[in-house]
Amino acid sequence: MMNSTKAGPVIGVVCCKKSLEGYGIQSVNEFYLHAIKQFGANPVLFPSGSTAEEIKQLIGLVDGVLLTGSHSNVAPARYGAEHDEPKKDEGRDALSFALIDTCIKENVPILGICRGFQEMNVALGGSLHPKVHEVEGFNDHRESPLNDMVLKYSPAHPVNISDNGIFADWLAPLDNIEVNSLHGQGVNQLAPGLTVEAVAPDGLIEAFSLQAHPFFIGVQWHPEWQATENHFSRILFDQFMISASKRRSLHDGN
Ligand SMILES: N[C@@H](CCC(=O)NCCCC(=O)O)C(=O)O
């Protein structure tokens, strides 16, 4: 774990658009910001609905990007589906998809969590199951409905670590870990070029990477929850920050 935020990398964090007392607000779950700071980096918020020109300027200010989870869902039309989606946030979609494209083109480290993981898959040409729990053979991956964060984020199932991925190197000799689970949607078709890093017992893909990229990783679970207390989460955020720090050194001409 890195131990200072003073000279740490800067991580751009996507916001979601919500409404509060009739006002449009930009929102982010603080768990993500806490995790970024715990691992020695500084978060800056990227507003949902930013234009392509604004995003180009924003990406030049940061050393990495974090695509957060959210209760909203990726617009079905983005992956060729036609069902009704009551929980859309199309400004968030536009922001995340533009960031994913730019991070690939410019080799900017990017970590996708839950909705962010799903956005990565769709942005690269994959698709989603809108309701995993209604698909024959898959389990219910949704969180506890009780208003108890410890319960919501408690370990829910193991994931098997692929033996040809980055995670296998990080975790050896472990070949499975326990993860939390707070999602109703999930990967249907995996996008071309992505390497599966972890799979749930029911066969649902739970993590992937773009191995040709310095750091392009998506996980369906929530490593930001009590990140310093979890073996894999510590590795994941450390590796993310190492990659972001390398970009910062390039920024600073070191
Ligand atoms: N809406 C998607 C993704 C679910 C998700 O990101 N849940 C986390 C919500 C809490 C947070 O991190 O802000 C789905 O249902 O699959």
Judged by phi (left if over 0) then psi (alpha if -120 to 50, else beta), residue 226 lies in left
Distance 250 CA to ligand 1 centre (A): 34
Q: Report how far residue 123's alpha carbon sits from residue 113's, in angstroms, rounded to the nearest whole number.
A: 14
Average pLDDT (191-201) is 98
**CA 253 to ligand 1 center in whole angstroms:** 38
Give the number of the atom of ligand 1 that is nearest the alpha carbon of residue 143. 7
Assigned token pair, 116:
């962010």
Residue 25 pLDDT > 70: yes
- DSSP class of 227: G
Kindly state the tokens that stand for 219.
């996980």
Distances (CA, A) of 189 to 116, 180, 217, 237: 16, 22, 17, 27
More confident residue, 254 or 146: 146
What values do phi and psi take at 243, rounded to 5? -65, -40
User: Which three-class secondary structure string do you get for 69-97?
Assistant: CCCCECCHHHHCCCCCCCCECHHHHHHHH
Query: Under 8 Å CB-to-CB from 204, ≥6 apart: which residues?
Result: 132, 138, 139, 141, 186, 187, 220
In tens, the pLDDT along 35-80 reads: 999 999 999 999 998 988 899 999 999 999 999 999 999 999 999 9
Task: Look at residue 3 and tell me whether its pLDDT is greater than 60.
Answer: no
Question: Across residues 233-243, what is the average pLDDT?
Answer: 98
Residue with tokens 């929102």: 27
* Residue 102 confidence class, pLDDT cut points 50, 70, 90: very high
Establish whether residue 182 lines the binding site of ligand 1, counting it when its CB lies within 6 angstroms of any ligand atom: yes
Helix, coil or strand: residue 195: strand
Question: What is the reported pLDDT for 22?
Answer: 96
C-beta atoms surrounding 151 within 10 Å: 11
Q: What is the distance in A from the centroid of ligand 1 to the CA of 245?
A: 28
Q: Decide: residue 229, CB within 10 A, 0-12 exposed, 13-18 middle, 19+ buried.
A: exposed
Place of tokens 């995993």: 132
Q: What is the pTM of this model?
A: 0.97
Q: What pLDDT does 251 receive?
A: 78
Residue 5 pLDDT level (bands cut at 50, 70, 90): very low
| Ligand 1 atom 9 nearest Cα | 70
Ligand 1 atom with the smallest distance to the CA of 32 is 12
- Ligand 1 centroid to Cα of residue 254, in Å, is 38
- pLDDT value of position 6: 54
The beta strands (E) that lie in 5-150 are given as: 10-14, 16-20, 23-27, 42-46, 64-67, 110-113, 128-129
Q: Which of the two residues, 252 and 4, has the higher pLDDT score?
A: 252
- CB of 114 closer than 6 angstroms to any ligand 1 atom: yes
Within 8 A by CB and 6+ apart from 14, the residues are 28, 46, 48, 65, 66, 67, 68, 92, 95, 96, 99, 116
Q: What percent of the chain has pLDDT over 70?
A: 98
Convert the pLDDT of each residue in 129-180 to its tens digit. Answer: 999 999 999 999 999 999 999 999 999 999 999 999 999 999 999 999 999 9
List the Cα angle 7/11/16 in 5-degree steps.
Answer: 150
Return the percentage of the chain with pLDDT > 90, whole number: 93
